[in-house]
Amino acid sequence: MISRNDKKHGISIFKQLLIPTVISMSLLTQAHGNMAERSKLVELSLEDLGDIEITSVSKSSQKLREAAASIYVITQEEIRRSGATSIPEALRLAPNLQVAHTASNAYAISSRGFNTTTTNKLLVLLDGRSVYTPLYSGVFWDVQDTLMEDIERIEVISGPGATLWGANAVNGVINIITRNAADTQGTLVTTALGSEEKGIGVRQGGKTTGGMDYRFYAKQFDRGASVNAAGGVLQDSWKGAQGGFRIDNSSDKQQTWTLQGDLYSGSSEQRLNDDRRVEGANLLGRWNRKLDNGHVQVKTYIDHTKREYPGSWSESLDTIDIDAQHQFRVGQHEILWGGGYRYADDKVQNGLTFAFLPEHAHLKNANLFVQDQIDLIANTLKLSLGTKFEHNNYSGLDIQPDARLSWSVNDKHQLWGGISHAVRAPSRIDRDIYAPAPPASPFLAGGSNFTSEVLTAYQLGYRGQLASRFTLSTTIFYNDYKKIRSIERDSGGVLFFANRMEGTGQGVELWGDLQLTQSWRVHMGYVYIEKHLTLPADNYNPAGVAAEGNDPKHQFSLQSSLNLPYNIEFDSMVRYISALPSPAVPSYTAFNFRLGWKPTPKWGLALVAQNLFDNQHPEFGTANNRSEVERSIFIKSTWKF
């Protein structure tokens, strides 16, 4: 890892990396002048982009252009051409997400506001496996990983998806979908070396004599510590390793199944104690059966995670989940119904500053859902009605209905609208936390009557091809929030969590693609969000409404993908994020670029530079202790055999 305490040494290494790379690319470009292979991203027509198959909106396969939701799809080609080396960094490609780097190993990620380091209104799935933690209904992003080349696409829905996906799919759903093993045959080796990060990844794929496709992968990374505003190095460096496999049996077209799993471990520095340690493993199985009229799917997984923060606390979580769904058609009605059950065994070893009581919790969640998509006018007007019944330990039964109307004006223009009711179910923080830990008098306690937060969302959207070279997707939304978490004080002076905050959120999301030439495509995105939250006059909230997220009003991005002669690719991205109100974080503009070259179909080389407009900038947190994101550069090589 390149030391940040020796700038001259860093510049020297930068030159050692950059100069030979540029010379090599120049010489090899002359030697291999006319390779035929081109990038799939730029060559896909705008019509092809609309025909991308997605599954997250209706839990069944449909074309992107037909989805009655605000959804952006990050493709494998976008990920590759962005140079992203982690899932959180790849999520910056979605214009409908707010992504802030809070430490070397941590991110704040949300959709339509309420962004915090413990965001709790966004559901994240990895191949259908929910990766939220019951501690705070959010996601530990430091352990959500896979080989980036194995990601097929990431479907990002902004807005509620609770009718199909359940509680916590309040402001959005992120569904990370990996590639079928049949599409990852052969050997792949990737390496990355740079000023902020180094890593290596290996994958081996093949086919058995019985017709099953498989792959095995392993990866390792080491990311350096971030810095503070004064340039001092913070002790938050992050390193980890992960391996896994996937087996797909698709030889029988009527019946397919998948078995996959991962094993990982990692650590990050702490200033005063030994390194934080994380480890985990998961195993998922999925079975699909085509019927004469529809299909059936059964999915189950087990998931083990363990986190140890020496000097503070630790947690061990074991989850078992099973769900099934059945889709069939009756006349004009396409009906999808199903249900599931999840059991989580959560054990916390409490520290001195806070505690979860009871330390050992058995959490159960059962659900049943049904959705009917009705063809009011064939291929033109479609009405979708659905609801989910979900029961959990804390709030009991929650009902989450949804209604959406979609009008396909023609094969190039679609209008849609929807009204949805979604909830954020209580977590262990809401009910079980005590700080300071007993037997000292608690300063803050979980609310024994804390119940589910509630959202009623109204959306109106358009998606279409306005010209032969230009597509546009836009959504306006209005969110009505009730029973949002607040802090109250009892007669004894003890603070506790309650549900007395409420308010509204509204905004506009839009993005579009412009095909300037056959070899040059530009993507633009803009999001405007405004929240108005209120508390009762007798409320005691030290941070006020700011406790429920720190969000930019404006977010703009511009991406360019250009194919140059001699198999050279030039990709760039500019992101503007307006200032955050509380705690105050100044606005910033970030510029990234990637220069890629494929001298042969089996070997690729890329130079990636990030955050070039400034030496460093903050993206989240209070001024006195936040980390800042530095300018960085790295070289990535990819070999296929």
Tell me the pLDDT band of 343, cut-offs 50, 70 and 90.
very high
Q: What percent of the chain has pLDDT over 70?
A: 93
Structure-block tokens of residue 205: 């794929």
The 10 Å CB-count burial string (b at 16+, else e) for 250-262 is: beeeeebbbbbbb
Phi then psi for residue 567, to 5 deg, are: 60, 35
Whether residue 140 contacts residue 256, with contact meaning beta carbons closer than 8 Å, is answered with no
The predicted-structure confidence for 486-511, as pLDDT tens digits, reads as follows 999 888 888 999 999 999 999 999 99
List the beta bridge partners of residue 534. 502
Q: What percent of the chain has pLDDT over 90?
A: 80
Phi then psi for residue 70, to 5 deg, are: -85, 100
The predicted-structure confidence for 122-143, as pLDDT tens digits, reads as follows 999 999 999 989 999 999 999 9
Tell me the pLDDT band of 272, cut-offs 50, 70 and 90.
confident
Q: Is pLDDT of 24 > 60?
A: no
The predicted-structure confidence for 41-65, as pLDDT tens digits, reads as follows 565 667 677 788 888 888 888 888 8
Single-letter residue type at 73:
V
Phi then psi for residue 626, to 5 deg, are: -80, 155
Q: What DSSP state is assigned to residue 227?
A: B
pLDDT of residue 367: 97
pLDDT of residue 44: 64
List the beta bridge partners of residue 289. 255, 296
Q: Which residues contact 159 (CB under 8 A, 6 or more apart)?
A: 69, 70, 111, 112, 171, 172, 418, 420, 457, 459, 475, 477
The predicted-structure confidence for 436-472, as pLDDT tens digits, reads as follows 888 887 889 999 999 999 999 999 999 999 999 999 9
Q: Which residue has the higher pLDDT, 512 or 166?
A: 512
Alpha-carbon distances, residue 349 vs 247, 272, 545 (angstroms): 36, 19, 31
Average pLDDT over residues 297-324: 97
The predicted-structure confidence for 98-111, as pLDDT tens digits, reads as follows 999 999 989 999 99
The predicted-structure confidence for 152-177, as pLDDT tens digits, reads as follows 999 999 999 988 998 889 999 999 99
Residue 604's CB is within 10 A of a number of other CB atoms, namely: 20
Single-letter residue type at 490:
D
Closest CA to 172 of 124, 219, 140, 133: 124
Tell me the pLDDT band of 6, cut-offs 50, 70 and 90.
very low
Tell me the pLDDT band of 13, cut-offs 50, 70 and 90.
very low
Give how far the C-alpha of residue 262 lies from the chain's centroid of Cα atoms, to the nearest Å: 18
Strand 313-330, strand 355-356: pairing:
unpaired
Structure-block tokens of residue 5: 């305490």
Q: Is pLDDT of 9 > 70?
A: no
* Sequence-distant contacts of 76-81: CB under 8 A, at least 24 apart: 76/149, 76/151, 76/152, 76/153, 76/179, 77/39, 77/40, 77/41, 78/41, 79/148, 79/151, 79/154, 80/148, 80/149, 81/39, 81/41, 81/561, 81/569, 81/571, 81/594, 81/596
Whether residue 83 contacts residue 592, with contact meaning beta carbons closer than 8 Å, is answered with yes
Average pLDDT over residues 474-480: 98
Q: Which residue has the higher pLDDT, 5 or 361?
A: 361
pLDDT of residue 547: 83
On average, the pLDDT of the chain sits at 91
Burial of 16 (0-12, 13-18, 19+ CB in 10 A): exposed
pLDDT of residue 392: 96
Give the predicted TM-score (pTM) of the model.
Answer: 0.92
Structure-block tokens of residue 148: 């980036």
Q: Which residue has the higher pLDDT, 186 or 58?
A: 186
* Sequence-distant contacts of 99-103: CB under 8 A, at least 24 apart: 100/577, 100/619, 100/620, 101/226, 101/619, 101/620, 101/627, 101/629, 102/619, 102/620, 102/621, 102/626, 102/627, 103/226, 103/234, 103/236, 103/627
Q: Is pLDDT of 637 > 80?
A: yes
* Poorest-pLDDT segment among 72-81, 250-259, 407-416, 514-523: 250-259
Closest CA to 316 of 346, 344, 343: 346
Instruction: Tell me the range of 26-30, 167-171, 223-227, 317-321 where mean pLDDT is highest.
Output: 317-321
The predicted-structure confidence for 216-268, as pLDDT tens digits, reads as follows 999 999 999 999 999 899 989 999 999 999 999 988 889 999 999 999 999 99
The predicted-structure confidence for 587-611, as pLDDT tens digits, reads as follows 999 999 999 999 999 999 999 999 9
Single-letter residue type at 6:
D
Alpha-carbon distances, residue 4 vs 85, 198, 340, 546, 623 (angstroms): 20, 15, 49, 34, 21
pLDDT of residue 43: 59
pLDDT of residue 40: 59
